Structures are given as structure tokens and as C-alpha cells.
């Protein structure tokens, strides 16, 4: 078999002890180290922003998210000053509304979720002994989108134009809000939500396909399990919100009455879509933070974690159950009691898996020989605070109690206990724990203790009294209150406490940012931990792992004393970079046997351009500048196409590569062996969830509204709907055919199919648009939701057409050949989903009116 024909690995695997024991000659070590260093060198000087290394992007991401957190914290301090005494007039009611809206929105969308992504991008590859994430440019693109969206949304505060309707933007308050505030929230944050989904795709593929050889699912670090679960949750939680944003913005911009009850709409649909996102969101920020505890605790206890399987159960179980809780945010909206019962029961049930992991941590600490350290202090604080928040959560899951304290400061206290305990404290523990890994220096023990006790004390002084303030009846979100209410002294205590928290953060920030030039570099494994990230290089190198090890246990650094030495010598896989490419190892999903030496992308400006234009496409509509938005969106598409065309799935110069230890690996894969295919699969799953949410909207109106569809309403024209289904389904069939014919070497037939398919798709789109022309979307929610489904299908079909043409161009120019056909596999996968979308949408548009 010649080089280009072979598609599978060849050579011995797993490596034997004799192979590993064989020393690597010094000159070879030096040569391969120099190759790697050159390939992974991040850009210097003014080109530094083009870096895509996970160590750089992750750090920028984390610092930016932390910056937004500090800003949101300042908003909270101003609010606390306003509430310090009764009848205060420090800031106006409107500004107070802007501040609490932005405090919540920023903490959730600009801090908690991005911080998870940032930390995961920064440390996940190191846990997995990998070089980088599988799609470095995607991380960079996500980061720049986040910066642009975040600055835009936060910047609105400076122009007194920030959203004022609260972080969950309930209509009709938010839909009827004057000024651009609600649009800024919707479009700015939708943009960031898309960046979050990009990060989730990256992290899921990273945890599934980029583990080191031998790291089967039963021995991967618990952090990777949590990342997997949380990535999956993002895929099912964020899309309903994106679908909600889509409907909401159509109402704001074009007056389609989705949430307007006078024209058949229903504000409750927004509440459903928001909280189907909003409750899992709490676990999305909690699980990865508690995952940090799962990494710190075995180190502190100096023994393997107790109950690994139980913690996996806990993560997966919480991930599922957390989707059955959303209505507990809506207990006062008049559901049938039996419905409330389901959500109350699920809210109690989720406590079980959540609690199990905490018991597993406690058991590990009891069974181990604890060596107390600063990170552990923060973890202990986290567990104490989170447990208190969990207990009020159990109380709030009981509907009658919930009715009593709904929208009072009791809720404010509860949610801050869960989020500080479940997210802020563990993340700070993580900062102390991983700082030597990230910056190769230590943070100060003394300042760390000061920061801990200030924040811990301040936190309890601020939020413990709020339980009582709430029980005494103080509603949340009021900008002031009369003296006669008798809440003055409690608010005074809370305000004083808030400034103690702020003092603690000031100490922490100083410790983080102060120059540490005179400090000597840390030892490589300062905590004596057992996981792979502590094989990092001191002083820093950018190659991730010097060579990618073969792993056989959960704590390789404890169990295999020669591992680090052999990694350093380049004894393991991919020790060099003979062609100067950045590469990482791709392994199988469950058993992590090596499959592929994947080339990954390097520094570029194109991700910044793409992010900038994508930003324009989201930001211009805020000011109703639609032509500019369309132009900007078109440029974004061009940038992304250029990026994909020039650097992804190019036919490799060398079909096979010597990966070390006698193993020879292919450098190109298509279909399920390729990381790109997995990324498309996962993205489309998220997309399908968003579509399902819109369809849910249709049936929600049917159950909730007696006049849906209204008497004598006009329906979509059946003949064009049928024609659209036929044309788009044929287009799908031809795309699938093109993949088969191309693979079989019948390139001509494949090209013909790729010419006919987009034409058919365009015809289908035209027919679908035609079928709803006579309906007036502003008149009633029924025509409006039919139009929304049409717009959804048309937008997706347009993307599908671009993909077909991309593959046609690839085939004509030699980028796509019968052997190197990853692009065609990927777009076929998109078309599978697209075909399903068309069938469902057209069934709803065309058939449902008859059936209902």
C-alpha cells in the first residue's frame, strides 16, 4: 500500500516497557525540541493578537471575563450604596434599573459562562497531555466575538442606554421598553451565546478525541468528564434562548407579535424559553467550578479520589435532572398545581446527585492524609457557602414557600449563596492552584489568606441578613424603600458587608497582577499532584507537551515515576515536527487508541476580521441599520470561507507520519474519524435544539391560546409547501449522492450533483417564501410563527447552498478529491439535519392547521 492509500494507523500499540525504556539520543532530543519550539512559537510584538495557542487565548479569555466581573461588581457596590439608607437618592430609578440588569447579565453572560470556557481552554489540553485544542482558531474567534459583544453591551452603560428590564428580560416590559436597551441586550448577548456554543463544540471534541493514547474513559481526569457534561448541557440549554432571542428580536424590529397577548401572542413563551436555558445555566457554571474541586481535593488528600464512578454519576445525573427544573422560576405564573408538582419533585431530586459529589469529596478528605493548602481553604469556603445555598434551594423548590418569598431578597440571598459557593470560590481556588502552571510563579500565601477571610466574612455579612430582609417583605429590584418599612438596618449591614467583599477582591487582584519578577521560578509540581498538567515545562514552553505520553492510570504522575522524564526526552508520541506544522494527536472516543496526527491551525488575522464583521452583523441591527448589517454579515461569511478554504481539510503533502515508538499515523481523516466531522455533528445538534424550541413555540401557542389558529385564518399555500419539501429533499439526496460518487471515483457525477443540488435548494427556498406571501405576520401570532419557521428554514438552506458550492469549488480546484473528502462528509451531515428541519417545518406549516 502506498503512502496516500493508507488510512489507518500501523505499527505496534500499546508501547511495551522495553520500547519506553530505550533512551533517546541527545542530538535527536535537541533537534526535535527545536522543531517543536519553532512550530509552536506564538507571534511576537504587534502580531501578538494573532496568537491562537490555547495558553494565550485562554489567558486573554480569563482576564477579560474577570475584568467584566469586576465591572459588574462595581455596579453592585453602587446599588448597595443606593440601598444603604431609606429614601436614598444617590442614583435615579432608571439608572438603578440599568445597573441591576447589567449586574446580572454581565455576571452570567460575561463572567460565569465565559470563565468556564476560558479555564477549560487554558487547562484542558494540559490535563490531557495534549498540544492544544483541536480548533485553535475557533477558540480565538470565540474570544474576539466575546470581547466585541461584551464591550458593546457593557459600553451601553456609559451612554445611559443600557437595558433596564432585568437580566431575564421579561416581555411585555422588555418588548415595549423604549430606546435601544433591549436590542442591545438581545443582539449583544446572542452574539456571545454563539461564541459559547463554539467553545462548547471545541471542548467536547477536545475531551472526546484529543486524549492521550491509553487514557480510556474510565481513567480520564474528572475535569474532562465535567467538561463533557457541561458542553452537552450548553448544546441543549443555550439554543432555546437563542430561539427566544430570535422571536424577541423579530417582535422588537418588525412588530411580529410573539409575546403580545392582544394579537394572540403570549409572554409566557419567553419565560419558558428563557428558563429552559436559565436553570441549566446555573449548573453549567456550577459543574465546571466544582470540577476544579475534584482536581484539587485528591492532591490535598494525597490519595486518589474516592468514588470516581459516583462523581461521574453525579455530573451526568445533574446534567440531565437540571433540565427538569425550569418551571420553579415560574411557580407564581398560574400553572396547574399538578404541573408545578413535576418541577417541584425534579427540583428536590436534583439535590441527590449534586450532594453525592460533595460526599465523595468529604470521603476523599477523610480517607487521605490532608496537607492543607490555600486552594483547599477556598474549596472549604465554597463547600460551606454552597451547602447553605443548596438548603435554601430545597426550601424554594417547595411551591407554597416559593410563593411566599417570590421576588424578594430571600431569592437574592439564595442565588448569591449558590453562585458564590458554587462558582466564585472554587474558581478562585483554581486560580491559586493553577497559577504556578499558568505563570510559573506562586501567588502569595499571606495575601491569599487575607483575601479569603475578607471575601468569606464580607460575603456572609452581606447575604446572610438578606434572607431576613426578604422574609420581612423587601422586594428585589426596588431602587429605594421608605423608612417605615423597617429594612434600613438590614440593608446597612449588607452594604457594609459588600465593601468588605470588595476589599477582599482588591487584595486578590493586587496579588494576581503585582509584578513578581524577583520571585524565583516554581518547582514543576509544587503541590505534588498526580495529573498530567504538572508535567508542564518551567520555564514556559508553548508546545503543550514535549511528547504526548501513553497513559495507563488516573494519576500518571504518582503511578509512573519515569513518565515525566520520558516525556521530556521526547520518548513518547509526536516528539518533533519534521515539516514545521502544528500537530496534535487524535485518538478514539472511548479507548483513546491513536488514530491520526491532526494538523492544527496557527496564528492568523483572519479570526479577528471574521469576529469584527460578525460583530457588525449583530450590532448594526440594534440601531436598525439593516443594509450595513447585511454587508457586514456578507464580509463575515467571506472571511470564514477564506479561513476554512486556506487552512482546513487541505490534502496533506505526506499521507502518513511517523508518530514515534514505531507507530505510523495518517495525517488526514474524513467522516467520523475526523475531528471536524464531530464538531459539525455537535454544532448541528445545538442547531436542531434551537429549531425544536421554535417548533415548541408553535405548539405552546396551540395549548395556551384558544384562538390559535384563529377562526377563518389564512394558511400557508399547500402546493408551494409541497414543492419546497420535494426540491429541498432532492437537494439533500443529491448531496448524499455526491459524497458516494466522489468516494467511488466518479468525480464527474459528483460535480454534476453538486451543481444541481444548490439549484434545487434555491428553487425550494423560492417556493417556501412564495407559500407564505399572502400571510401578514404583524396581524396575529399564527402567521408570525409560520413566517418565523420559513425564515429559519430559508436561512439554513442558504448556508446549505454555500456549503454545496464550497465543495463544488473544492472538487474543481483539487482541494477535494475522492480520497480527501472531509468537506463533503461534513456538509452531508449538515444536510441530514437540514432535511429533517425542512420536513418538520413544512409539516408544521402545511399539515398542522388541518390536524388541529
Partner 1 sequence: MTGEHQPRADEERREFREEAESLWRITLAPVTWVAHFVASYGVAAVTCAKAPGLLGAARIGLMLATLLALAVIAWLGWRAWRQWDYRNTGDYTNALGQAEDRHQFLGHAAVLLALISAIGVVYGTLPVLLLDTCR
Residues binding partner 1 (CB under 8 A): 8, 12-14, 214-219, 304, 308-310, 312-313, 316-317, 320-321, 323-324, 336-342, 344-346, 348-349, 352-353, 551-554, 588-591, 593, 703-704
DSSP state of 408: B
Give me the DSSP letters along 146-207: HHHHHHHHHHGGGGT----STTTT-TTHHHH--SSHHHHHHHHHHHHHHHHHHHHHHHHHHH
For residue 459, what are the CA distances in angstroms to 15, 496, 505, 750, 848? 52, 10, 11, 64, 53
Measured CA to CA, the distance from residue 201 to residue 196 in angstroms comes to 9
Q: Is 532 helix (H, G, I), strand (E, B) or coil?
A: helix
Q: Which is nearer to partner 1, 161 or 692 (CB)?
A: 692
Nearest CB to partner 1, comparing residues 28 and 707: 707
* Distance of closest approach, residue 626 Cβ to partner 1, in angstroms: 38
Cell numbers 470516581 label which residue? 308
Q: Are the beta carbons of 326 and 276 closer than 8 angstroms?
A: yes
Q: How far is the CB of 248 from partner 1 (least distance, A)?
A: 23
From CA 68, how far away is CA 150, in angstroms rounded? 8
Closer residue to partner 1, CB minimum distance, 480 or 553: 553
* C-beta separation of 461 from 475 below 8 A: no
CA distances, 600 to each of 194, 201, 585, 676, 814 (Å): 22, 16, 10, 11, 21
Among residues 10, 2, 34, which one has the least CA distance to residue 595?
Answer: 10
10 phi and psi, to 5 degrees? -140, 150
Nearest distance in Å: CB 6, partner 1: 12
Secondary structure in 3-state letters for 486-500: CCHHHHHHHHHHHHH
Nearest CA to 739 among 810, 655, 644, 683? 810
Q: How far is the CB of 691 from partner 1 (least distance, A)?
A: 17
Considering the complex, state which of residue 8 and residue 814 has its C-beta at the smaller distance from partner 1.
8
Q: How far is the CB of 283 from partner 1 (least distance, A)?
A: 14
Min separation Cβ 332 and partner 1, Å: 15
Q: Could you tell me the smallest distance in angstroms from the CB atom of residue 221 to partner 1?
A: 13
List Cα–Cα distances, 213 to 535, 541, 663, in angstroms: 16, 22, 12
Our CB check for partner 1 shows the closer of 29 and 402 to be 402
Cell of 168: 431575564
Residue 127: CB minimum distance to partner 1, A: 16
Q: Which is nearer to partner 1, 215 or 291 (CB)?
A: 215
In the complex with partner 1, the residue whose CB is nearer, 50 or 588, is 588
Q: How far is the CB of 374 from partner 1 (least distance, A)?
A: 28
CB-wise, 398 or 779, nearer to partner 1?
Answer: 398
Q: Which of 261, 131, 277, 129 is nearest to 192 (CA)?
A: 277
Report the 10 Å Cβ neighbour count for 172. 16
Q: Which three cell numbers stand for residue 183?
A: 436590542
Give 441 or 819: the residue with its C-beta nearer to partner 1: 819
- 39 or 204, CB closer to partner 1? 204
Residue closer to partner 1 by CB (options 152, 708) is 708
Provide, rounded to whole angstroms, the least separation between the CB of residue 407 and partner 1.
Answer: 23
On whether the CB atoms of residues 246 and 788 are closer than 8 A, the answer is: yes
Work out how close the CB of 341 gets to partner 1 at its nearest, in angstroms, rounded to a whole number.
2
CB of 316 to partner 1, least distance (A): 6
d(CA 651, CA 667): 9
Query: 139 and 52 in contact (C-beta within 8 Å)?
Result: yes
Nearer to partner 1, 17 or 87 (CB): 17
**CB of 293 vs partner 1, minimal distance in Å:** 20
Our CB check for partner 1 shows the closer of 286 and 459 to be 286
Measure Cα distances from 40 to 274, 489, 538, 581, 671 in Å.
42, 58, 16, 8, 28
Write a three-state SS string for 34-56.
HHHHHHHCCCCHHHHHHCCCHHH
Q: Do the Cβ atoms of 145 and 100 come closer than 8 Å?
A: no
- Which grid coordinates are listed for 205? 471534541
Give the nearest distance from C-beta 211 to partner 1 in angstroms.
Answer: 11
Which of residues 349 and 756 has its CB atom nearest to partner 1 in the complex? 349
CA atoms 422, 424, 426, 427: torsion sign: positive
Identify any residues that bridge with 583 across adjacent strands, giving them in sequence order. Answer: 599
Give helix 181-209 / helix 675-704 axis angle, nearest 10°: 140
CB of 669 to partner 1, least distance (A): 14
Residue in the block written with cell 505526506: 654
Report yes or no: 258 and 186 within 8 Å, Cβ to Cβ. Answer: no
* Between 4 and 553, CB nearer to partner 1: 553
Total number of residues shown for the chain: 852
Amino acid at each position: 500500500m502506498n503512502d496516500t492509500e493508507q488510512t489507518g494507523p500501523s505499527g505496534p500499540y500499546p508501547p511495551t516497557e522495553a520500547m519506553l525504556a530505550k533512551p533517546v539520543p541527545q542530538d535527536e532530543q535537541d533537534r526535535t525540541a527545536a522543531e517543536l519550539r519553532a512550530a509552536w512559537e506564538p507571534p511576537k510584538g504587534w502580531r501578538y493578537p494573532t496568537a491562537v495557542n490555547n495558553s494565550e487565548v485562554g489567558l486573554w479569555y480569563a482576564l477579560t471575563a474577570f475584568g467584566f466581573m469586576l465591572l459588574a461588581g462595581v455596579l453592585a457596590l453602587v446599588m448597595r450604596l443606593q440601598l444603604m439608607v431609606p429614601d436614598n437618592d444617590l442614583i435615579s430609578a432608571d439608572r438603578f434599573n440599568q445597573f441591576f440588569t447589567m449586574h446580572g447579565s454581565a455576571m452570567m453572560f460575561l463572567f460565569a459562562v465565559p470563565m468556564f470556557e476560558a479555564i477549560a481552554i487554558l487547562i484542558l489540553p494540559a490535563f490531557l497531555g495534549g498540544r492544544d485544542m483541536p480548533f485553535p482558531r475557533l477558540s480565538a474567534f470565540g474570544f474576539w466575538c466575546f470581547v466585541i459583544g461584551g464591550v458593546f453591551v457593557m459600553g451601553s452603560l456609559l451612554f445611559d442606554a443600557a437595558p433596564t428590564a432585568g437580566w431575564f428580560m421579561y416581555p411585555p416590559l422588555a418588548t415595549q421598553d423604549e430606546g435601544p436597551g433591549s436590542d442591545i441586550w438581545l443582539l449583544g448577548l446572542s452574539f456571545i451565546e454563539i461564541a459559547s456554543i463554539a467553545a462548547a463544540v471545541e471542548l467536547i471534541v477536545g475531551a472526546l478525541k484529543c486524549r492521550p493514547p491509553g487514557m480510556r474513559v474510565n481513567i480520564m481526569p474528572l475535569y474532562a468528564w465535567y467538561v463533557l457534561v457541561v458542553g452537552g448541557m450548553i448544546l441543549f440549554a443555550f439554543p432555546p434562548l437563542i430561539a427566544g432571542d430570535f422571536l424577541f428580536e423579530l417582535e422588537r424590529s418588525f412588530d411580529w407579535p410573539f409575546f403580545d397577548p392582544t394579537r394572540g401572542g403570549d409572554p409566557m413563551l419567553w419565560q419558558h424559553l428563557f428558563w429552559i436555558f436559565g436553570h441549566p445555566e446555573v449548573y453549567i457554571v456550577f459543574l465546571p467550578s466544582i470540577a476544579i474541586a475534584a482536581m484539587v481535593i485528591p492532591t490535598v488528600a494525597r490519595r486518589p479520589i474516592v468514588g470516581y464512578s459516583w462523581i461521574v454519576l453525579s455530573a451526568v445525573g445533574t446534567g440531565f435532572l437540571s433540565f427538569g427544573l425550569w418551571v420553579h422560576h415560574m411557580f407564581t405564573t398560574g400553572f396547574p398545581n399538578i404541573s408545578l408538582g413535576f418541577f417541584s419533585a425534579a427540583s428536590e431530586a436534583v439535590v441527590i446527585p449534586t450532594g453525592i459529589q460533595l460526599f465523595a469529596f468529604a470521603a476523599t478528605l477523610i480517607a487521605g492524609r490532608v496537607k492543607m493548602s490555600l486552594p483547599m481553604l477556598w474549596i472549604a469556603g465554597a463547600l460551606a457557602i454552597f451547602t447553605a445555598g443548596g438548603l435554601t434551594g430545597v426550601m424554594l423548590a417547595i411551591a407554597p414557600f416559593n410563593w411566599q418569598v417570590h421576588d424578594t431578597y430571600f431569592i437574592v440571598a439564595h442565588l448569591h449563596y449558590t453562585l458564590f459557593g458554587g462558582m466564585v470560590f472554587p474558581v478562585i481556588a483554581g486560580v491559586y492552584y493553577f497559577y504556578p502552571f499558568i505563570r510559573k510563579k506562586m501567588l502569595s500565601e499571606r495575601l491569599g489568606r487575607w483575601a479569603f477571610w475578607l471575601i468569606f466574612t464580607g460575603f456572609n455579612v452581606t447575604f446572610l441578613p438578606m434572607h431576613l430582609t426578604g422574609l420581612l417583605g423587601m422586594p428585589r429590584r426596588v431602587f429605594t424603600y421608605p423608612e417605615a418599612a423597617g429594612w434600613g438596618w438590614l440593608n446597612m449591614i449588607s452594604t457594609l458587608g459588600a465593601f468588605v467583599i470588595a476589599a477582599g477582591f482588591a487584595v486578590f487582584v493586587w496579588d494576581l497582577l503585582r509584578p513578581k519578577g524577583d520571585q524565583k521560578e516554581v518547582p514543576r509540581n509544587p503541590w505534588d499532584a498526580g495529573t498530567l498538567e504538572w508535567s508542564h515545562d518551567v520555564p514556559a514552553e508553548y508546545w503543550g507537551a514535549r511528547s504526548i505520553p501513553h497513559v495507563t492510570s488516573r494519576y500518571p504522575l504518582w503511578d509512573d515515576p519515569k513518565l515525566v522524564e520520558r516525556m521530556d526526552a521526547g520518548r513518547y508520541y509526536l516528539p518533533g515536527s519534521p515539516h514545521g506544522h502544528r500537530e496534535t494527536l487524535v485518538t478514539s472516543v472511548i479507548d483513546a487508541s491513536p488514530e491520526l496526527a491532526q494538523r492544527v491551525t496557527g496564528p492568523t488575522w483572519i479570526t479577528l476580521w471574521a469576529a469584527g464583521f460578525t460583530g457588525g452583523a449583530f450590532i448594526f441591527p440594534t440601531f436598525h441599520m439593516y443594509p450595513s448589517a447585511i454587508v457586514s454579515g456578507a464580509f463575515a461569511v467571506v472571511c470564514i470561507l477564506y479561513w476554512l478554504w486556506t487552512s482546513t481539510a487541505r490534502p496533506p503533502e505526506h499521507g502518513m507520519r511517523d508518530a514515534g515508538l514505531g507507530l505510523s499515523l495518517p495525517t488526514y481523516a474524513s467522516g467520523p474519524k475526523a475531528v471536524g466531522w464531530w464538531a459539525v455533528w455537535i454544532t448541528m445538534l445545538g442547531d436542531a435544539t434551537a429549531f425544536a424550541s421554535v417548533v415548541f413555540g408553535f405548539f405552546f401557542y396551540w395549548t395556551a391560546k384558544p384562538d390559535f389558529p384563529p377562526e377563518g385564518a389564512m394558511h400557508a399555500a399547500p402546493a408551494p409547501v409541497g414543492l419546497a419539501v420535494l426540491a429541498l429533499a432532492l437537494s439533500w439526496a443529491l448531496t448524499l449522492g455526491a459524497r458516494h460518487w466522489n468516494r467511488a471515483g466518479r468525480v464527474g457525477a459528483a460535480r454534476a450533483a453538486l451543481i444541481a443540488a444548490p439549484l434545487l435548494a434555491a428553487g425550494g427556498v423560492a417556493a417556501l417564501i412564495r407559500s407564505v406571501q399572502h400571510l401578514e405576520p404583524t396581524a396575529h401570532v399564527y402567521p408570525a410563527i409560520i413566517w418565523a419557521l420559513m425564515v429559519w428554514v430559508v436561512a439554513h438552506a442558504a448556508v446549505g447552498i454555500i456549503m454545496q458550492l464550497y465543495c463544488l469549488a473544492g472538487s474543481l480546484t483539487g482541494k477535494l478529491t475522492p480520497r480527501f473528502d472531509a468537506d463533503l462528509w461534513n456538509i452531508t451531515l449538515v444536510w441530514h439535519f437540514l432535511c429533517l428541519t425542512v420536513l418538520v417545518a413544512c409539516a408544521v406549516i402545511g399539515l398542522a392547521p388541518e390536524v388541529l
